Chains A and B, each alone.
Chain A
């Protein structure tokens, strides 16, 4: 896979690692929280999709209660990272359809439209008889059968492009979410270390609020991009479902003789 989705995936993975290391650090150094004597309270309202809905009121000393929430979010990100997909492969297939396949189909239509036209079809003048008439009647139907190919080819190509774009949009949002997550968790660590040395917990409260806000933003962003992707794929699915009935039932074939008598 060569798509930049792979780069985004790696980026998101690294950011998740950074966030997870920071959370682990906070967990291991939980006793530091108890030594900081600061009056600061924050309210956490976790996004519904990420964790059970509840209000948590925290003292700065209890800030480690945020850690399960962060772990859930990191776990969710890591799970989403594994969705993958291959936009480059989908786009290559789409280009084959909209390029070479479409050209071939149009080429036949153009060629046949001119050749079955009485003005151009060479055998119109020279080949006479009932069989020739029957042959020509059926031959004149062929351009329409061929034209029927053009819409499905275009639709499939458009759908492939759309899925590729949807996957990339999803990963852009996911990588952005992972970066935000890593940043706020690291900020929290920095604030706690600063508070432990400077004796003030204001920085922690601000950083903790940053974490809470970011968690909500990330959850909202991921829900939004997931919803857009889902709706887009439903639309794509509908377009494909409608293709089946758009194709003519069958190609009529001409009568075929068996050569000269006695051959």
Chain B
């Protein structure tokens, strides 16, 4: 991972970790829920074989595919925000010469 942080940042480590836990993790989880509710596995037969239904099924499959990708990208983005604040917390701990235990705890949070 590239080191694109300035080393002079300041901030409250608890606030940053709180944002990771209370904002970005739940956001990712909820997007995961949304993705799970998308009707990606409906069989063509459910739409009937009445003329006209096949076109709807085809377009619905395409819409769900692009929506699934969009939501999946959103999950990755939410995860990136969460990582960003946790890495920032590590940066702040580093500049404050904080205890090693905090660093280990945040690294565990990052890997969770």
Contact = CB atoms under 8 A, between A and B. Distances in A.
A257 B5 contact: yes
B74 A146 contact: yes
Nearest to B69: A247
B46 A258 contact: no
B111 interface: no
Identify the interface centre among A82, A101, A135, A257: most chain B CB within 10 Å of its CB.
A257
Interface in A77-110: 80, 82-86, 89-90, 93, 96-97, 100-101, 104-105, 107-108
B105 interface: no
Contacts of A241: 59
B55 A108 contact: no
Contacts of B56: 159, 163, 233, 236-237, 240
B52 A89 contact: no
Nearest to B18: A122
Contacts, number: 233
Contacts of B27: 108, 111-112, 142, 146
Interface string A203-239: 0000000000000000000000010011011101100
Given A131-B4, A258-B1, A123 B15 contact: yes
A236 B66 CA distance: 17
A35 B2 CA distance: 100
